[in-house]
């Protein structure tokens, strides 16, 4: 089982194009008023609404600092600041702004992390 985070947008075509062309997401599912995009294990849906929902941050996780730096080079025109170390969270990251005014982040962890599991056993299931 997986999950999807949805955001309302007043300009679905432009926002979907941004995430596909600039951040490398792929279309996972097209619905009448919603487009669901996928980036590895992340699913994000953008649904046509009267206004944009800009709360929250869409975060893309890369494997290395070099990959974050490359992403910054490609996204400098929409980035808020260059990448930097965030010591409390032990990450290397930068933030940017999508066409709706929503924040996105590109980061890498500066420590080992557990691999992402295929599915989650959930609270009522045994691992």
How far is it, in rounded angstroms, from Cα 38 to Cα 27?
A: 6
Residues 60 and 107 in one domain: yes
For the domain that residue 13 is a member of, what is the CATH number? 3.10.180.10
List, for residues 50-107, the tens digit of each pLDDT value. Answer: 999 999 999 999 999 999 999 999 999 999 999 999 999 999 999 999 999 999 999 9
Q: Which residues lie closer than 8 Å to 111 by C-beta, 6 or more apart?
A: 90
Residues 28 and 73 in one domain: no
* Sheet with 26-30, side-by-side order of all strands: 5-9, 42-48, 34-39, 26-30
Residue 11 belongs to a domain? yes
pLDDT of residue 82: 98
Q: Kindly report the length of the chain.
A: 127
Q: Which residues lie closer than 8 Å to 106 by C-beta, 6 or more apart?
A: 59, 60, 62, 68, 71, 72, 75, 83, 93, 94, 96
Count: domains in the chain: 2
Residues 38 and 67 in one domain: no
Mean pLDDT on 5-16 = 96
Domain holding 87, by residue range, is 56-115
pLDDT of residue 127: 46
- Average pLDDT value for the chain: 92
């Amino acid at each position: 089982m997986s999950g999807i985070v949805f955001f309302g947008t007043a300009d679905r075509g432009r926002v979907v194009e941004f995430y596909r062309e600039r951040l490398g997401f792929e279309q996972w599912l097209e619905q009448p008023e919603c487009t669901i995009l996928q980036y590895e294990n992340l699913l994000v849906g953008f649904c046509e609404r009267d206004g944009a929902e800009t709360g929250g941050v869409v975060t893309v996780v890369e494997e290395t600092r070099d990959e974050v730096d490359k992403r910054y080079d490609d996204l400098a025109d929409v980035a808020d600041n260059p990448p930097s170390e965030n010591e409390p969270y032990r990450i290397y990251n930068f933030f940017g702004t999508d066409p709706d005014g929503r924040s996105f982040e590109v980061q890498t962890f500066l420590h080992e992390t557990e691999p992402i599991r295929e599915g989650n056993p959930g609270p009522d299931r045994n691992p």
